[in-house]
Structure 1
Amino acid sequence: MNNIFTNENIKPAIRQGLAKIHFTEPTKVQEKVIPVLLAHKNAVVQAVTGSGKTHSFLIPVLNEIDEKLEYPQAILTAPSRELSEQLYQVARELRDAAGLNISIAHFAGGSDRERQLKKIDNHKPQVVIATPGRLHDFVEKKILLLDYVKDFVIDEADMTLDMGFLADIDFIAQRLPKDTTLAAFSATIPVKLANFLRKYMSKPEQIVIDNPAVISPTIKNDLLDIGSKNRKAVLHQLLTLGQPYLAVIFANTKQTVDDLTRYLQDQGLKVAKIHGGITERERKRTLREVEAGQYQYVVATDLAARGLDIAGVSLVVNYEIPRDLEFVIHRIGRTGRNGLAGHAVTLIKAEEMNRIASLEKMGIHFDFVEIKNGELVPRKHYHSRNERNNSSYAIDNRVNGYVKKAKKKRKPGYKKKIKRVIQQDKAQKNKIEQRHKIRKAKQQRKKRREDRS
């Protein structure tokens, strides 16, 4: 089967850009989706984060843009400011690598609306990446025109449904040109979402991508909670525990890579760095020196996550979790290659556990560890503690007293009384929780109306 990244229907500049950011082997979702969207067919794609779905629609979308036409030609939506920001950054990376003269704009609720309006006045965007509420606002007020839109993509469609944004998407979809190519990407396709999509897509291509094991079974994948400790100090301690043959440490920005490199060098370690701020010539020289064994540690950005192919990487460290969670898979995949054993460690704090939960949903399994007596040892997983502490119906002290007394032998009817009190307490808390949800929903609706006014 021909590699879709070299397909002649994709502009040469984009093909070169893909090679530049080290996209050489397409994922399953990219193989199936890109030809469909290049052929201007509607698609409903069921694929999890981490499957490569983002580039499966970005490549066809950027391929269709007429650089001379200064109107929105593609609209991509994501349900939250964070997700839309991630999508915006990935789109810019591909555009810049391909050297395309395409204007990409990001519009999200919760951001400075006036500043976004000035951007539109100064330069009309050709690709719009937005949250549904802000997009509704700008289209309703005719700030953004839809007359020339060729592609409309709903990313994280199930989350869009869950967050109550389908009405906003509906408003946009009704106003699109009839020949617009529509695509929805979702981890799951609930009935309500399927019915909604059917309203705008007649016999779309249904593409379902299975979620295989995303991390090689030869890799030990650990999670290290740094607590209140200094992240750099923990990293240094980790790197010097067992003297890895070759360790690659991933950070999110060029500045952090530079900072970490200096810090580790000051600790006496032989450290090389790789990021987009160094020249291609310097990068190749550094890689040659690493392969020759002149360095034991390499600090890199995600630029190297796909393209770094060095034999003998025995340890990968995620110094911080990337904004685009898909990169965790590519980072970890630098070790444990060719059937060899590998080790990956991700540094986290308690407040980042929601991101770990997202990674686990993608099929990535972590083992919790801690540093004790100069070695990594297993520790209890957060989940069991969190489930106790964050129970929807935490029992207050009064009821807790009844529960403790229940362990003693009592007169007949006493246990029933305890159960009744607990049930009443749960019912009361449930009422309060429901009122809170209703109140919060009303506030959100009110805020959306104010944002649109």
Structure 2
Amino acid sequence: MNNIFTDSRIRPELQAGLKKIHFDKPTKVQEEVIPAMLSNQNVVVQAATGSGKTHAYLVPVLNKIDENSDYVQAIITAPSRELADQLYKVARQLRDNSGLDISIEHLAGGVDRERQLEKIQNKKPQLIIATPGRLLDFVEKKIFSVDQVKVFVIDEADMTLDMGFLADIDKVASKLPKDVLFAAFSATIPVKLSNFLRKYMAHPDEIIIDNPAIIAPTIKNDLLDVGSKDKKRVLQELLTMGQPYLALVFANTKQKVDEITDYLQSQGMKVAKIHGGITERERKRTLRQVEQGQFQYVVASDLAARGLDIDGVSLVINYEVPRDLEFVIHRIGRTGRNGLSGHAITLMREEEMGRIEELEKMGVHFDFVEIKNGELVPRKHYRRRDNRQSKNRKLDTKLVGYVKKEKRKRKPGYKKKIKRAIAEDNRQKRKLEQRHEIRKAKRQRKRRREQGR
């Protein structure tokens, strides 16, 4: 097969630029996506982080831009400012190495709006890389027009959905020309996302890049049942065990990130924190300090799990199992990169067993471990213990008695009475569990509203 990077449809400048940044052999996603987009075919691409998808759409996007026309010709969206910033840097690198005179602008929430506005007014961008909220803001206020956009790319589409930004994308997409080239890239394609994409893409080229090893073989992926122990003390023990080069600890909320950071700092550990609640200036300073090796430990929210690219992470700890189980994969993927070995540990309690099983069904393999004498050692898999106890633990004492007596000779209808009693008991328990789940969901929604997440 011919190398797609030397395809005659790609401008010679771009071909030279790819060569300069040592893009000699395309990845599988690049081999499939670049020809499709060059042929003006809408694409929905399911590919994992690290598959090379960014350049898979950047090459055709830059290829389509007319340097002599000073209007917005292409838009790429990313769900977080970290991701948008990362894409902006990659796009500029390819543009500069190709010697193309293409104006690229980065629009993101949390960054000085007036400064962004001033830059756009001074020089009309031809490519915009933006977060959904800020993009919609500028489009609705007619700061620039989108009626001549040739390409519209949604990166990390599942994360865009998870973070509630699909409505913003929808409002912008509805203003685009009918013949715009649409491309969506995502690690997973949930039903809600698929329905949304069908609204704008009638017959897209669906490209699925198989990722048989969900967790890289270079990563040792452990599961630790905390039990009744103090979770923060367990975390501290794990972090100081073996002295990792750089450890990333993930929690579900910014409040929990603050809580963990405060605790570890009170124990004399030098810890950095990254979440959506800190200022942009503080975030950049923290990342710079981490890159300079000033911190050995970083506590982060899920935004950082998919928005940051920190080199040298040797240990990842999931302090909490995230609400969206896909985030576990992205968190763990922060370590064991570029062929280096990595270690990931997920902390859990018994009530989270069901969620761990869901992860295993998704293809995530865990080694069950415990701490003994200051070391992590293998432990029997939790399901063996769970299955052993599961037979009678859900029955009330009187029902267990019924079951034990079932084999005795009884009057006709006695067995049916036992079965009815057990069925009724299970029905009542399910009812109580449903009520508990509904109340729990209401509390979580209320807490999220209060926390401004």
Q: Smaller-chain TM-score range?
A: 0.5 to 0.7
Asked whether the equivalents of residues 77 and 155 of structure 1 are also in contact (C-alpha less than 8 Å), the reply is yes
In the superposition, relative to structure 1, how do residues 438 and 34 fare at CA in structure 2: closer, same or farther (>3 Å)? same
CA distance in 1, matches of 2:27, 2:50: 10
Would you say how many aligned residue pairs link Structure 1 and Structure 2? 354
1:75 corresponds in structure 2 to 75
CA distance in 2, matches of 1:228, 1:192: 39
1:334 aligns with 2:334: no
1:318 corresponds in structure 2 to 314
Which amino acid is the alignment partner of residue 142 of structure 1? K
Q: Deviations over 1:174-227 (max 9, x none)?
A: 21123321112233444444443333224222222222226775x463569994
In the superposition, relative to structure 1, how do residues 422 and 200 fare at CA in structure 2: closer, same or farther (>3 Å)? closer
Secondary structure of 2:182's aligned partner: strand
Q: What is the TM-score of this pair, normalised by structure 1?
A: 0.58
Which amino acid is the alignment partner of residue 146 of structure 2? L
Deviation at 1:59, TM superposition (A): 1.7
CA distance in 2, matches of 1:54, 1:2: 21
Asked whether the equivalents of residues 222 and 346 of structure 2 are also in contact (C-alpha less than 8 Å), the reply is no
Q: What is the TM-score of this pair, normalised by structure 2?
A: 0.58
CA distance in 1, matches of 2:42, 2:140: 25
RMSD between superposed Cα atoms in Å: 5.4
In the superposition, relative to structure 1, how do residues 175 and 332 fare at CA in structure 2: closer, same or farther (>3 Å)? closer
1:177 corresponds in structure 2 to 177
In the superposition, relative to structure 1, how do residues 222 and 72 fare at CA in structure 2: closer, same or farther (>3 Å)? same
In the superposition, relative to structure 1, how do residues 215 and 190 fare at CA in structure 2: closer, same or farther (>3 Å)? closer
In the superposition, relative to structure 1, how do residues 416 and 75 fare at CA in structure 2: closer, same or farther (>3 Å)? same
Asked whether the equivalents of residues 47 and 186 of structure 1 are also in contact (C-alpha less than 8 Å), the reply is yes
CA distance in 2, matches of 1:18, 1:364: 34
CA distance in 2, matches of 1:104, 1:332: 29
Deviation at 1:136, TM superposition (A): 1.8
2:142 corresponds in structure 1 to 142
Deviation at 1:43, TM superposition (A): 1.6
2:411 corresponds in structure 1 to none
Which amino acid is the alignment partner of residue 133 of structure 2? G
Identity %: 54
Deviation at 1:253, TM superposition (A): 7.4
CA distance in 2, matches of 1:71, 1:211: 38
Secondary structure of 1:105's aligned partner: strand
Asked whether the equivalents of residues 245 and 314 of structure 2 are also in contact (C-alpha less than 8 Å), the reply is no
Asked whether the equivalents of residues 319 and 346 of structure 1 are also in contact (C-alpha less than 8 Å), the reply is yes
In the superposition, relative to structure 1, how do residues 7 and 194 fare at CA in structure 2: closer, same or farther (>3 Å)? same
Asked whether the equivalents of residues 219 and 335 of structure 2 are also in contact (C-alpha less than 8 Å), the reply is no
1:345 aligns with 2:350: no
Unaligned runs of 5+ in 2: 225-233, 248-285, 297-308, 318-328, 349-356, 385-392, 403-421
CA distance in 2, matches of 1:25, 1:182: 25
Which amino acid is the alignment partner of residue 42 of structure 1? N
Which amino acid is the alignment partner of residue 342 of structure 2? V
Which amino acid is the alignment partner of residue 234 of structure 1? Q
CA distance in 1, matches of 2:376, 2:383: 20
Asked whether the equivalents of residues 215 and 332 of structure 1 are also in contact (C-alpha less than 8 Å), the reply is no
Unaligned runs of 5+ in 1: 239-251, 264-301, 306-315, 336-343, 352-356, 385-402, 449-453
Which amino acid is the alignment partner of residue 107 of structure 1? L
2:203 corresponds in structure 1 to 203
Asked whether the equivalents of residues 29 and 47 of structure 2 are also in contact (C-alpha less than 8 Å), the reply is yes
CA distance in 2, matches of 1:98, 1:253: 29
Deviation at 1:37, TM superposition (A): 0.8
Secondary structure of 1:178's aligned partner: coil
In the superposition, relative to structure 1, how do residues 206 and 433 fare at CA in structure 2: closer, same or farther (>3 Å)? same
Q: Deviations over 1:331-368 (max 9, x none)?
A: 64535xxxxxxxx12478979xxxxx9x9999675657
Which amino acid is the alignment partner of residue 91 of structure 2? A
Which amino acid is the alignment partner of residue 186 of structure 1? S
2:88 corresponds in structure 1 to 88
2:3 corresponds in structure 1 to 3
CA distance in 2, matches of 1:237, 1:58: 31
Asked whether the equivalents of residues 158 and 193 of structure 2 are also in contact (C-alpha less than 8 Å), the reply is yes
Asked whether the equivalents of residues 104 and 129 of structure 2 are also in contact (C-alpha less than 8 Å), the reply is yes
Secondary structure of 1:67's aligned partner: coil
Asked whether the equivalents of residues 147 and 177 of structure 2 are also in contact (C-alpha less than 8 Å), the reply is yes
In the superposition, relative to structure 1, how do residues 319 and 127 fare at CA in structure 2: closer, same or farther (>3 Å)? farther
Secondary structure of 1:49's aligned partner: coil
1:43 corresponds in structure 2 to 43
CA distance in 2, matches of 1:77, 1:112: 18
Deviation at 1:151, TM superposition (A): 0.6
1:451 corresponds in structure 2 to none
Task: Spell out the pairing of 1:423-438 with structure 2 (5 A cutoff).
Answer: 426=433, 429-436=436-443
In the superposition, relative to structure 1, how do residues 257 and 135 fare at CA in structure 2: closer, same or farther (>3 Å)? closer
2:23 corresponds in structure 1 to 23
In the superposition, relative to structure 1, how do residues 83 and 24 fare at CA in structure 2: closer, same or farther (>3 Å)? same
CA distance in 1, matches of 2:131, 2:365: 31
CA distance in 2, matches of 1:383, 1:110: 45
2:220 corresponds in structure 1 to 221
